[in-house]
Amino acid sequence: MDEEKQCKEVIAQLTAIRNAADKAIAQIVAENLQQCIVEAQESGEDSNKLVQEAIELLVKSR
């Protein structure tokens, strides 16, 4: 990383990796949350609590 260009390339690659990971995490959480909400509704539970918990976990993870 002696050259400025190389440093910028490394930063760009790390940023791309972070963005890809964030998108994957969001997709996994969304699918899981959807399933949890369906199961909660089927059993008569309050799904609002599940949504709030998921939001709190996502905020903490960033």
What are the pLDDT digits (tens) for 1-49? 556 678 889 999 999 999 999 899 889 988 988 998 999 889 998 888 8
Q: Is residue 12 a contact partner of residue 1, using CB atoms and an 8 Å limit?
A: no
| pLDDT of res. 9 | 92
Say what the pLDDT of residue 4 is: 67
- Rounded to an integer, the average pLDDT of 45-56 is 85
Q: According to the model, what pLDDT value does residue 6 have?
A: 87
Q: Please tell me the distance from the alpha carbon of residue 53 to that of residue 3, in angstroms, as a whole number.
A: 45
